[in-house]
């Protein structure tokens, strides 16, 4: 058996999601060629991925034509890839070994968002993934009860580090641990947002493949804080079948789109009522809310979850229910998240490195496609897209070039989610000392700088 012939044969097998061969995707690991046996691992980039056995069978078929091929032993396993944006130097230390952060959100309360969060997270954990749940629903944290931790209180922390609680093979941290069941917690928006940032930076999650974040309903300060504080792999929107729910879900969808966070798909909860001992579904809340929202925004409808007594009882008791439908939804989320991570690795609009040089007067960006741009702080400041510098209605630039200090410096750069960076300048002009710049916009500035330099020559 010849190693090149084996590799060439396996290179004819393609992944149906990426339309690329499994060799270039790095799926084939640990190949050993014995006298009569070929062994290798088929390592996919996510758990619960459909088609693992199909790819293995295609490998066997492709290898049949290799001369002197003997017995073929294929070990099927997986290894979750980390979202490249999480490698940013400003990512909180507590998240340095977390590979993906997925928000579970809804446009309104009462749609079963927390139930969906727990069900999906448990499906991942049962598949062997390292999973955590962060419950930041400050106005109605219900995750503790659903995982059997309703009476748990948050203990003291050592050196500002909070230890999550383990339940059902998952690590849990909840706003509900901060107060007793009889003591309501009342926070104004800014205080709640600060608490969310503290949770993000202070919880010792350890190694996690997926951290699921149960968001408060609606679109407010807390949602924006999370979106801008850490890079999210994506968001799952939970809705219900009613037509009005479709309209409300749009708010959450549009918010995530505005802050450039990919939406992995929509889950329609309470999609009907299934009586005990029956497979019949009664559409007591109507039909089609999730489907119409998915079609309007060109998003996957990840699945539907019906009202069932056993599921309700399990959530009340803090136990787990095995459910093929929920496992299917989790599988699709795994695939969507995997594609986001891989596409970001390949995207030219994601930076590998960003460095300030020349005492903050110059920014050097190296992009994922290895293109390097050198952009002056002056040009970045002049092209600032904030409301102080550009009329939000007309788009007319308000800032004048002559009003910017010629030696303006960037004093600080802070990542904003996975889509951009906030620069602080030493410009003394009122309201002009900081601005948020998307990576797409910075790429455009860099391309323009290269083009202008070529004309100067």
- Which letter does DSSP use for residue 25 in this model? T
264 touches 340 (CB < 8 A): yes
13 touches 22 (CB < 8 A): yes
Taking each helix axis from N to C terminus, what angle separates 189-202 and 221-229, rounded to the nearest 10 degrees? 30
Distances (CA, A) of 457 to 259, 368, 450, 452, 453: 38, 27, 11, 9, 6
Q: Is 114 annotated as a binding residue?
A: yes
Is 47 exposed, middle or buried, given 0-12, 13-18 or 19+ CB atoms closer than 10 A?
Answer: buried
Rg, Å, the chain Cα set = 25
Q: Is 417 annotated as a binding residue?
A: no
Q: Is 110 annotated as a binding residue?
A: yes
CA angle (79, 84, 90) in 5-degree steps: 125
Cα 328 to chain center, whole Å?
Answer: 19
227 touches 258 (CB < 8 A): no
Q: Is 140 annotated as a binding residue?
A: no
Q: Is 111 annotated as a binding residue?
A: yes
Q: Is 109 annotated as a binding residue?
A: yes
CA distance 325 to 323: 6
Q: Is 70 annotated as a binding residue?
A: no
Q: Is 260 annotated as a binding residue?
A: no
360 touches 377 (CB < 8 A): yes
Query: Binding-site residues for ATP, please?
Result: 107-114
Query: Binding-site residues, please?
Result: 107-114
């Amino acid at each position: 058996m010849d190693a090149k012939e084996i590799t060439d044969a396996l290179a004819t097998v393609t992944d149906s999601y990426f339309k690329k061969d499994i060799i270039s995707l790095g799926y084939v690991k640990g190949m050993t060629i014995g006298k009569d046996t070929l062994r290798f691992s088929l390592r996919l980039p996510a758990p619960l991925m459909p088609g693992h056995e199909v790819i293995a069978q295609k490998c066997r078929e492709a290898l049949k034509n290799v001369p002197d091929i003997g017995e073929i032993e294929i070990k099927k396993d997986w290894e979750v890839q980390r979202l490249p944006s999480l490698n940013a130097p400003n990512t909180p230390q507590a998240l340095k070994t977390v590979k993906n952060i997925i928000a579970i959100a809804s446009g309104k309360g009462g749609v079963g968002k927390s139930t969906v969060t727990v069900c999906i997270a448990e499906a991942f954990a049962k598949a062997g993934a390292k999973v955590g749940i962060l419950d930041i629903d400050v106005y109605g944290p219900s995750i503790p009860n659903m995982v059997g931790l309703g009476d748990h209180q948050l203990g003291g922390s050592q050196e500002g580090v909070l230890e999550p609680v383990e339940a059902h093979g998952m690590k849990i941290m909840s706003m509900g641990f901060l107060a007793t069941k009889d003591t309501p917690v009342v926070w104004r928006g800014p205080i709640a947002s600060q608490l969310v940032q503290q949770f993000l930076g202070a919880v010792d999650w350890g190694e996690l493949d997926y951290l699921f974040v149960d968001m408060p309903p609606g679109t407010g300060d807390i949602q924006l804080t999370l979106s801008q504080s850490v890079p999210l792999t994506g968001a799952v929107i939970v809705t219900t079948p009613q037509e009005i729910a479709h309209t409300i879900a749009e708010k959450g969808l549009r918010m995530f789109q505005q802050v450039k966070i990919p939406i992995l798909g929509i889950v329609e909860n309470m999609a009907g009522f299934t009586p005990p001992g029956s497979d019949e579904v009664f559409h007591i809340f109507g039909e089609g809310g999730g489907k119409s929202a998915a079609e309007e925004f060109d998003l996957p409808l990840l699945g539907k979850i019906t009202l069932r007594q056993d599921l309700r009882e399990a959530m009340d008791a803090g136990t787990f229910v095995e459910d093929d439908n929920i496992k299917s939804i989790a599988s699709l989320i795994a695939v969507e998240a995997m594609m986001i991570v891989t596409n970001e690795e390949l995207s030219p609009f994601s930076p590998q490195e960003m460095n300030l040089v020349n005492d903050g007067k110059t920014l050097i960006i190296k992009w994922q496609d290895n293109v390097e741009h050198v952009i002056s702080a002056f040009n970045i400041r002049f092209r600032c897209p904030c409301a102080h510098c550009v009329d939000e209605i007309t788009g007319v630039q308000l800032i004048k070039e002559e009003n910017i200090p010629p030696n303006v410096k960037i004093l600080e750069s802070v990542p904003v989610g996975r889509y951009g960076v906030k620069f602080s300048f030493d410009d003394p002009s009122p309201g002009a000392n900081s601005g948020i710049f998307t990576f797409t916009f910075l790429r455009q500035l860099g391309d323009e700088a290269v083009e202008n330099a070529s004309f100067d020559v």
